[in-house]
């Protein structure tokens, strides 16, 4: 058993170093859906993004935000018509991994340490 242990450890370490796939350019533009829990209820939002504008549709309301790409996998969105102070704060989004027609991302207010994760599906 002891002679197999180094080989097993080497094999495990080899597979643990694999980077997630990140084809971020495939998600710069398109139509997307995002599901999340809000006050214990599963809700779905829908948004359309071109290179510099994102239009969000949620519960019958439409919001427009500017999109500023930091690099291929990170961008900042800023609400163009904020209705309160909370909506004035820009959000930093970082795509962590892509798979097929979806991506996993991390997001939070710019300058804030608290981050959340989500998954977006590209529908068009």
3-state SS, the chain, equals CCCCHHHHHHHHHHHHCCCCCCCHHHHCCEEEEEEEEECCEEEEEEEEECCCEEEEEECCEEEEEEEEEEECCEEEEEECCCCCHHHHCCEEEEEEEEECCEEEEEEEECCCCCCEEEEEEECC
If the chain, 124 residues long, is cut into consecutive pieces of 10 residues, what is the mean pLDDT of each piece? 52 55 92 88 93 93 96 96 91 96 95 92 94
Residue 68 is assigned to a structural domain of this protein: yes
Q: What is the total count of domains within the chain?
A: 1
CA angle 75, 108, 68 (to 5 degrees): 20
Residue 80 is assigned to a structural domain of this protein: yes
CA distances 117 to 64, 97, 106, Å, are: 22, 11, 4
> What is the predicted pLDDT for the residue at 7?
52
The pTM for the full model equals: 0.79
Residue 8 is assigned to a structural domain of this protein: no
Residue 14 is assigned to a structural domain of this protein: no
> What is the predicted pLDDT for the residue at 37?
82
Residue 45 is assigned to a structural domain of this protein: yes
> What is the predicted pLDDT for the residue at 38?
81
> What is the predicted pLDDT for the residue at 18?
57
> What is the predicted pLDDT for the residue at 91?
96
> What is the predicted pLDDT for the residue at 78?
97
Residue 46 is assigned to a structural domain of this protein: yes
Residue 26, domain CATH:
2.40.128
> What is the predicted pLDDT for the residue at 124?
86
> What is the predicted pLDDT for the residue at 57?
95
d(CA 98, CA 121): 10
> What is the predicted pLDDT for the residue at 4?
54
> What is the predicted pLDDT for the residue at 64?
96
Closest C-alpha among 81, 85, 84, 102 to residue 22 = 102
> What is the predicted pLDDT for the residue at 98?
96
Domain carrying residue 60: 20-122
> Does residue 34 contact residue 120 with C-beta atoms inside 8 Å?
yes
């Amino acid at each position: 058993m002891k002679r197999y242990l180094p080989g097993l450890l080497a094999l495990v370490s080899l597979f643990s170093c694999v980077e997630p796939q990140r084809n971020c350019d495939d998600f710069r533009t398109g139509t997307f859906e995002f599901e999340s829990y809000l006050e214990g209820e599963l809700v779905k939002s829908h948004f359309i993004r071109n290179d510099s504008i994102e239009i969000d549709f949620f519960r019958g309301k439409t919001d427009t935000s500017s999109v500023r790409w930091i690099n291929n996998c990170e961008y900042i969105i800023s609400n163009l018509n904020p209705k309160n102070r909370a909506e004035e704060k820009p959000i930093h989004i970082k795509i962590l991994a892509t798979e097929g027609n979806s991506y996993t991302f991390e997001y939070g207010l710019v300058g804030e340490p608290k981050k959340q994760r989500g998954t977006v599906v590209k529908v068009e």
